[in-house]
Amino acid sequence: MLAYGRQSIAQDDIDEVVRVLRGDFLTTGPEVPKFEEAFCAYTGAPHALACANGTAALHMIAMAMDLKPGDQVIVPSISFVATANGPHYCGAEVIFADVDAETGLMTPHALKEAMARADKSRLRAVFVVHLNGSRVDLEAIAKLTKEAGVALVEDACHALGSTYPVGNGTGNVGDCALSDFCAFSFHPVKTITSGEGGMVTCRDPEMAARLALLRNHGLERDKDLFTDPEIGFEVGTGEHNPWAYELQMLGYNYRLTDFQAALGRSQLAKMSRFGPQRKALVAAYRRKLAPLAHLVTPALNTDNEDAVLHLMVGRIDFAARGKTRRQVMAQLRELGVGTQVHYIPIHRQPYYAKLNPGLNLPGAEAYYAGCLSLPLYPDMTEADVDTVVRALATVLGD
């Protein structure tokens, strides 16, 4: 069975995890900062903070910005619910933006429309999603957020290894050259995995320090940053109490373990192979699906053909084929091809629908109606792509 996505774990990854398991630290040891340093080197961001998962990364960002009830944020409706949940955990109201019906990406036009529905005095941030690994028009969106005086957050949980144009050059998604924060996920089906895990990148050292506190309950252990001398220092001598720590803000236990960090760093070192493999598979899909363009078309941002895709999404007019999506998925599975749907529009989820009654986002609805995630992961071969394409032709009735 070809799954729509899966981890690619080799013996060297396993060896790295075992090495840590046999060492002195399973958590809060040296592996996490090593992973963070490697991630900074890969993305070009000055600061990287590892955490428990991509949802934790988004929540930490919202807390670092001090989002609170009464604030508003804009989020595209096509994403995993975590993109909306992260800022909403802090009480912020989510204004859902529409997306391009073909790519699922929030466009500058859609952002302008969402901004028009927002209260300008309460709008604090825009969360963009590089869906499937294709990046949004970051320069145009950054210009709009700068003009509005609001923060720009990139949800890049799908987009490790992708790039974007900036000025006359190219930036790496995650370098935060145009944004305030960027969030990543290392779930098993993502581009690299640490089992579960996440990362936040940013350029502001003060925000990096806040993020470091927020992922560890808000506890400060640096004696030079203590605020209460009676906790941190011995009365009379002024000597440092080595056990001391201060709760300086309310945080969460969002730490990444050392053995997860070791796996993540081992996986990150393979991006020079994983990235080209994913690109080659996507190129094969494009070639082999071209004769079936009347049946299925790739949901790709044609302005970003060099992207490292996390998901290979096909757009299918199920009604025109006389079959439901459920029927197509079941028949593909019988032929050994696993598929998935990414995503149900968040504004349609019962929780958010109650908060946004009557909201109509036609682009999100159209994208959702036709999207189907096809198998894509580094261990696949071109022959596997042939299998998927043949199955699609059979099931869709070519």
Residues 103, 182: one domain?
Answer: yes
Per-residue pLDDT, 275? 97
In a domain, 242, yes or no: no
User: Is the model's pLDDT at 148 over the cut of 70?
Assistant: yes
Write the pLDDT tens digit of every residue in 132-141: 999 999 999 9
Supply the range of the domain harboring residue 305. 272-396
Write the pLDDT tens digit of every residue in 100-117: 999 999 999 999 999 999
In a domain, 233, yes or no: no
In a domain, 346, yes or no: yes
In a domain, 210, yes or no: yes
**Which of 68, 120, 146, 190 is flagged as catalytic?**
190
Write the pLDDT tens digit of every residue in 222-241: 999 999 999 999 999 999 99
CA–CA separation, 33 vs 21, rounded Å?
Answer: 17
Residues 22, 136: one domain?
Answer: yes
**Token pair belonging to 287:** 């070639």
Q: Within 13 Å of residue 173, how many CA atoms lie on the same side as its CB?
A: 30
Average of per-residue pLDDT across 138-163: 98
Per-residue pLDDT, 301? 81
CA–CA separation, 303 vs 106, rounded Å?
Answer: 14
Q: Residue 305: which pLDDT band, with cuts at 50, 70 and 90?
A: confident
Write the pLDDT tens digit of every residue in 37-63: 999 999 999 999 999 999 999 999 999
Per-residue pLDDT, 302? 74
Domain end call among 236, 270, 304: 270
Per-residue pLDDT, 398? 66
User: Is the model's pLDDT at 4 over the cut of 80?
Assistant: yes
CA–CA separation, 167 vs 171, rounded Å?
Answer: 9
Average of per-residue pLDDT across 255-284: 98
Per-residue pLDDT, 340? 98
User: Is the model's pLDDT at 303 over the cut of 80?
Assistant: no
In a domain, 392, yes or no: yes
**Token pair belonging to 177:** 């050259």
Per-residue pLDDT, 306? 81
User: Is the model's pLDDT at 380 over the cut of 70?
Assistant: yes
CA–CA separation, 288 vs 165, rounded Å?
Answer: 28
Nearest to 337 by CA among 302, 262, 285, 286: 285
How does the average pLDDT of the chain come out, rounded? 97
Q: How many domains does the chain have?
A: 2
3-state secondary structure 249-280: CCCCECCCEHHHHHHHHHHHCCHHHHHHHHHH
Residues 174, 281: one domain?
Answer: no
Burial grade of 211 (CB within 10 A; 0-12, 13-18, 19 or more): buried
Cα distances from 197 to residues 10, 14, 167, in angstroms, run 18, 17, 32
Could you tell me the CATH number of the domain that includes residue 380? Answer: 3.90.1150.10
Cα distances from 59 to residues 35, 63, 84, 88, 135, in angstroms, run 21, 6, 10, 9, 21
Q: For residue 48, list its beta bridge partners.
A: 201
Residues 181, 204: one domain?
Answer: yes
Q: For residue 72, list its beta bridge partners.
A: 93, 123
Residues 140, 276: one domain?
Answer: no
Residues 51, 191: one domain?
Answer: yes
In a domain, 284, yes or no: yes
Residues 51, 199: one domain?
Answer: yes
Residues 106, 31: one domain?
Answer: yes
Cα distances from 395 to residues 145, 313, 317, 339, 374, in angstroms, run 44, 17, 13, 13, 14
Per-residue pLDDT, 393? 97
The one-letter amino acid at 15: D
Residues 340, 370: one domain?
Answer: yes
Q: For tokens 């349609």, what's the residue?
A: 348
Residues 158, 15: one domain?
Answer: yes
Cα distances from 317 to residues 300, 328, 330, in angstroms, run 16, 11, 16
CA–CA separation, 219 vs 109, rounded Å?
Answer: 42
Q: Among this protein's residues, is 354 annotated catalytic?
A: no
CA–CA separation, 282 vs 165, rounded Å?
Answer: 21
DSSP-based three-state secondary structure for 337 = strand
In a domain, 131, yes or no: yes
Residue 115 near residue 69, CB atoms below 8 Å: no
**Token pair belonging to 155:** 């949800």
Could you tell me the CATH number of the domain that includes residue 20? Answer: 3.40.640.10
DSSP letter at 348 equals: G
Residues 99, 129: one domain?
Answer: yes
Average of per-residue pLDDT across 298-315: 89
Nearest to 200 by CA among 378, 63, 20: 63
In a domain, 169, yes or no: yes
Phi, psi dihedral angles at 165 (to 5 degrees): -80, 140
Residues 188, 305: one domain?
Answer: no
